Amino acid sequence: MSTTTTANAKAKIAVLVSGGGTNLQALIDAQNSGLLKSGEIKLVISNRKDAFALERAAKAGIEAFALTKKSCGGQEGFEKRLTEEIESRGIDLIIMAGFLSILSEAFTRRFDHKIINVHPALIPSFCGKGYYGLLVHEAALAKGVKVTGATVHYVNEIPDGGEIIMQKAVEVKDGDTPEILQRRVMEEAEWIILPAAAEKICAEIIAKGA
C-alpha cells in the first residue's frame, strides 16, 4: 500500500463487490459530486462473474473484473491474486461494498486498518457469521426492534468484528417487510455513511503522507 504525497494527491481505492453494486454506485455518485474528494476509485473486483456491479464500474470508466475462488484454485489462491492486484496498483484503501466472502486473518492482518465494510445493522446487533443481506433485516423484524441502521467498520479476522467508524440509525415502521426495511436502511444510512467514512479515511491517509 502506498500513498502519494503531492498537493493534489488522492488516496487510491479498490472496491470489492459480489452483487448489484448499490453501495458501489453510492461511492461513484459521491466521487462525481465531490463528496468523496480525497480518494478515487481505481479498481473494482467481484468474486462473481455475473455481478451487475461490474457493469456499474465499467459505465463509470473504472477498471473492473471478476476474480473467483474457483478460477484461483481456492481461498489461498484467491487471496494471493487479490493481494497482487491490490498491491501492484498501490491501493491505499479497500472498501467491501456488499462483498459476500470472508477474508482470512492473514489477509486482513496484511491490510490492517486498510479495509472497511458497511453492514446493514447497528453493530453489535444482528451481525457476525450468517448475518448478511435480507437475513439481517429478517432478524431485526423478528426481534421487534424499533430502530435499526447501518455501520461502517474496519475489517479484521472476526466477521463484523472490527472497530466501528460510523453508524446511522433508521426507524423501523409498522408494516415493514425485510425488503422495504432493506431499502430504507440503504437509502437513509448505507449510502450516506459509506461515502462519508471513505472520505474521512482517505483524507487521513493523504494527511499522513503529506
The rounded distance, in Å, linking the Cα atoms of 19 and 86 is: 20
- Residue 165: phi and psi, rounded to 5, are -100, -50
Alpha carbon distance 142, 36 (integer Å): 36
Dist. CA 141–CA 109, nearest whole Å: 35
**3-class secondary-structure state, position 19:** coil
Give me the residue label for grid cell 448505507. 190
Asked if residues 97 and 24 have their Cβ atoms less than 8 Å apart, the reply is: yes
**Bridge partners of 96?**
16, 117
The active-site residue out of 113, 119, 137, 153 is 119
Residue 13, by phi and psi: left (phi above 0), alpha (psi -120 to 50) or beta? beta
Inter-residue contact 59 to 32 (CB < 8 Å): no
Active site residue 119: yes
Which amino acids are annotated catalytic? Answer: 119
